[in-house]
Amino acid sequence: MPDDIYFYERTKGRTDGRCWFLSNFYKAMMIIDGKEYATVEHYFQSMKHAGTELEEKTKLASTPEKAKKLAWTRELPPDWPEMKEGVMLRALRAKFSQHPKLADKLLATGNAHLHEDSPTDMYWGVKGLDRSGKLLMIVRDELREEVSRKDLK
């Protein structure tokens, strides 16, 4: 396993497609608070406008790209910067806990450092704070711990 794994789009840049499942745009239906979301991106973007009509519209967008675009049509709530990592972590936990095959693939990345290879995102991407990869590694550690607990029983 390589020391660093880059994911973003299916086959551009340093990515080769095998780790596309790590992307927030990867289709993996999740249920959070009794609502269905097609991707992590749908959930994340809809939470920017929780409690408004735009939340539902964003949740139902036909693609994650459209969900993202919709979410940016209105001003973000003032507390969004403090909330966004918790929202993303909740979505990632849901994705990997509700899809055991994806959880297995995440665990199979071993101890590799995970990086979203976005060419422009200075918060989530590797060219910035690299928060997407860091949150995925937190989820991977949690899954690993869960597996260890099950093995002890």
> In whole numbers, what is the pLDDT of the chain averaged over residues?
93
pTM, 2 dp: 0.93
Instruction: Tell me what pLDDT residue 119 has.
Output: 87
Cβ(131)–Cβ(85) below 8 Å:
yes
Number of domains into which the chain is organized: 1
Tell me the percentage of the chain whose pLDDT exceeds 90.
85
CA-to-CA distance for 128 and 126, rounded, in angstroms? Answer: 5
pLDDT, tens digit, 9 for 90 and up, residues 100-138: 999 999 999 999 999 999 889 999 999 999 999 999 999
Range of the domain at 139: 4-152
Amino acid at 108: A
**Residue 103 CB coordination number (10 Å):** 19
CATH code of the domain in which 123 resides: 1.10.357.40
